[in-house]
C-alpha cells in the first residue's frame, strides 16, 4: 500500500485568499496609477504664433505652475497658429482621451472657429478645465472727441446713422463683436472697419476714425498719456486696477463682452487627470504672480472652475453663432 501523499500547504491557495490578494493588487495598481499622473511632460497648445496675447497668457500660466511646483511635470508650450484657431483646436480635438494635451482657450475664438472652418471642433470635443479671467475690450475715443460718455456717442450715431466709424483689428474677433453688441443693444448704426495690427488704435489717435473697440490693454498707455479716453468698458463692475474707467452697464447699456482666458483638454480624459489639472489651475489663479499679471493687463480677475466654464461656453454659443451669421462669416474658411 502506497503511503498517503502529504499535502503541501504552499502548492495550493485558498480561493478566498486568492481573490482578496488579486483585489488588493488591483486597488494598489489603480491607486498608484492615479497618483502617478502625470508621468511625463504635458503639451500646452496655443492657437497663435509666439508673442501674441494668447501666447503670453499661456506662457505666463506655465511659468507660474513651474515656479510654484503645481505639477510634477513640465508644461511644454506648442504654438499651432493658422486657420483662425482651427488648426490648434482640430489638433487637440483629435487627441480624445489624452490627458497629456492641453489647449489655451480664448472663448470667442473657440466658439467661432467651427463656424468659420466647418470642421467638427465643437464644444463636445473638449473638456473645459478652468477660466482664469476675462480679457476686456473697451470703447475708446480720442481725448478731444466731443463724446464724454457712451450716451453721447450713441446719440451722435443715431442723429447721423452710418457716419461715425468704429475701427477694430480682426473681423469676427471680440472687438468686432463688441461693436455688433453696441448696435444691437442701442439701435444706433455705425460704420465699422477692420484694420491690421495696431492700426485701429493709431487711426483714432490720428483722427481718421471716431472710436475703436480694441483690447483695453492696447489703449491704456494712450489713455494715461491723456491722448485717448475710454467711454465704456463691458465689465460687470469697475476694475480695481483702473477704477476711473466707467462701465457700459453703469451707463445703462447692458453689454458684457470679452475673451474668457482659460484651458481645456480633449474630451474623454480620465476624471482623475481632470481633477489634477483643475486643482493646478485654481492654485495658479490664487498666486501672487497671476494677480499681478491680471492687474497689469487689466483683466476682470474672475475664476471659473471646469463646470462653470463649460456652462459659460454653452450659454455663449448661440449668441456667437448669431453674430457670425449676421456678420456673414459663418461657413467661411
Count the neighbouring beta carbons within 10 Å of the beta carbon of residue 168: 26
**Euclidean distance between CA atoms 178 and 170, whole angstroms:** 12
Given its phi and psi angles, is residue 181 left (phi above 0), alpha (psi -120 to 50 degrees) or beta? alpha
CA atoms within 13 A on the CB side of 279: 10
**pLDDT tens-digit map of 110-123:** 999 999 888 999 99
Q: Does pTM top 0.95 for this prediction?
A: no
pLDDT tens series, the chain, 333 aa = 434 434 444 344 454 444 444 444 444 444 444 458 999 999 999 999 998 889 999 999 999 999 999 999 999 999 999 988 999 999 999 999 999 999 999 999 999 999 988 899 999 999 999 999 999 999 999 999 999 999 999 999 999 999 999 999 989 999 999 999 999 999 999 999 999 879 999 999 999 999 999 999 999 999 999 999 999 999 999 999 999 999 999 999 999 999 999 999 999 999 999 999 999 999 999 999 999 999 999 999 999 999 999 999 999 999 999 999 999 998 644
**CB within 8 A of 236, min separation 6: which ones?**
247, 249, 256, 300, 302
Amino acid at each position: 500500500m502506497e503511503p498517503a501523499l502529504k499535502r503541501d500547504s504552499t502548492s495550493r491557495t485558498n480561493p478566498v485568499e486568492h481573490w482578496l490578494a488579486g483585489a488588493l493588487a488591483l486597488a494598489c495598481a489603480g491607486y498608484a496609477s492615479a497618483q502617478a499622473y502625470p508621468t511625463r511632460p504635458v503639451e500646452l497648445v496655443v492657437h497663435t504664433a509666439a508673442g501674441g496675447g494668447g501666447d503670453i497668457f499661456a506662457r505666463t500660466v506655465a511659468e507660474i505652475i513651474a515656479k510654484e511646483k503645481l505639477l510634477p511635470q513640465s508644461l511644454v508650450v506648442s504654438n499651432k497658429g493658422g486657420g483662425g484657431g482651427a488648426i490648434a483646436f482640430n489638433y487637440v480635438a483629435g487627441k480624445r482621451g489624452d490627458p497629456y494635451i492641453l489647449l489655451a482657450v480664448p472663448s470667442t475664438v473657440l466658439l467661432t472657429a467651427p463656424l468659420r472652418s466647418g470642421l467638427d471642433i465643437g464644444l463636445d470635443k473638449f473638456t473645459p478645465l478652468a477660466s482664469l479671467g476675462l480679457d476686456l475690450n473697451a470703447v475708446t475715443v480720442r481725448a478731444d472727441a466731443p463724446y464724454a460718455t457712451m450716451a453721447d456717442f450713441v446719440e451722435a450715431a443715431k442723429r447721423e446713422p452710418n457716419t461715425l466709424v468704429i475701427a477694430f483689428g480682426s473681423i469676427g474677433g471680440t472687438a468686432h463683436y463688441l461693436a455688433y453688441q453696441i448696435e444691437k443693444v442701442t439701435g444706433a448704426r455705425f460704420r465699422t472697419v477692420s484694420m491690421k495690427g495696431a492700426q485701429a488704435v493709431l487711426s483714432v489717435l490720428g483722427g481718421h476714425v471716431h472710436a475703436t473697440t480694441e483690447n483695453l490693454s492696447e489703449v491704456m498707455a494712450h489713455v494715461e498719456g491723456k491722448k485717448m479716453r475710454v467711454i465704456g468698458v463691458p465689465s460687470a463692475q469697475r476694475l480695481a486696477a483702473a477704477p476711473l474707467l466707467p462701465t457700459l452697464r453703469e451707463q445703462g447699456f447692458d453689454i458684457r463682452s470679452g475673451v474668457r482666458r482659460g484651458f481645456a483638454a480633449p474630451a474623454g480624459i480620465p476624471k482623475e487627470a481632470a481633477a489634477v489639472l483643475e486643482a493646478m489651475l485654481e492654485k495658479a489663479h490664487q498666486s501672487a504672480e497671476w494677480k499681478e499679471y491680471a492687474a497689469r493687463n487689466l483683466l476682470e480677475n474672475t475664476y471659473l472652475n471646469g463646470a462653470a466654464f463649460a456652462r459659460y461656453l454653452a450659454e455663449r454659443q448661440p449668441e456667437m453663432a448669431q453674430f457670425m451669421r449676421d456678420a456673414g462669416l459663418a461657413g467661411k474658411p
